[in-house]
Amino acid sequence: MSNVLVTGSSRGLGLELVKQLAARAEFRDGLVVATARKCSNELQEVITSAKCSVVFVSLDLTEEGAIALSAEKVNSALAGKSLDILINCAGVHSVTLGKLASMSDLDYQLSVNVTGTHNVLRQFLPLMQTSNIKKVVSIIFGSLTLAREVGYAPCPAYKISKAALNSLMAQYALSYEDEGYIFLTVSPGVGHTLPSRSWHANRIYQWLKSDMGGQDADLTVPQGAEAVLDLVMSASGRENGSFKNVRVPGWEKYDGQDLPW
């Protein structure tokens, strides 16, 4: 039995993660906390039909005070039990066309994707303190090493902020390893929604058929969510601080190995 919290649960990968968590036998006696700014109709359907206990708690990464209030509500829902797994799936994304100097929303994306996640960790880690699992996972599409290979996707602010989030997770991994926490960053892939296929060539990252990835992507959202959860459940302490590729049977490039920073 494990208690899990997923941020960004109203749609896409976050929604599918909640759906699959609710269906997995190992979570049937636990609590799945789905968070987002607002509860979508799709998420409400999952909560209503779930075989285990799924609750929604509003969470806005842009307001530190609201995050603290959300943590209090989650703590109440846990009813004295620990939070075992935290999956950070929330984030913002945008397109920048033309040269990098035209990027105008870097501050905002850093404030949400990095500072917002940092504030979530600050508030929710205390709820995990008594857990024997203590796994924290952030969904990432950002690698300095592979910057040229993924240059086709016109979302530099997103890439910069996610690379910074990678660094944040690495620092948390170092800071909390003596307390038994396991911090992972995982790349399930997102791509972009532009209709042209020209920038899809030589793609390296996992690529999901989500709102962000478009319908030309490699993997379905259920495939990506299943791969993320399989990785989370199998992760051990020796993988603390690592940047992981998901493993998807039948796909050579989705091999479950470490990705370059």
Q: What is the per-residue pLDDT for 143?
A: 84
Q: How many CB atoms lie within 10 A of CB 225?
A: 26
Checking if the pLDDT of 158 tops 60, the result is: yes
User: How many Å from the N-terminal Cα to the C-terminal Cα in the chain?
Assistant: 33
Q: What is the per-residue pLDDT for 57?
A: 98
101-115, 122-136, 153-167, 247-261: which range is least confident on average? 247-261
| pLDDT tens digit sequence for 211-250 | 444 444 578 889 999 999 999 999 999 999 999 999 888 8
| pLDDT tens digit sequence for 18-33 | 999 999 877 778 999 9
Any idea what the CATH number is for the domain that residue 53 is in?
3.40.50.720
| pLDDT tens digit sequence for 132-154 | 999 999 998 778 888 888 888 89
Give phi and psi for 128, each to the nearest 5. -100, -5
pTM (2 d.p.): 0.88
155 in a structural domain: yes
Count structural domains, the chain: 1
Question: How many Cα atoms occupy the beta-carbon half-sphere of 230 within 13 Å?
Answer: 15
The range of the structural domain enclosing residue 152 comes to 4-187+225-244
205 in a structural domain: no
Q: What is the per-residue pLDDT for 29?
A: 84
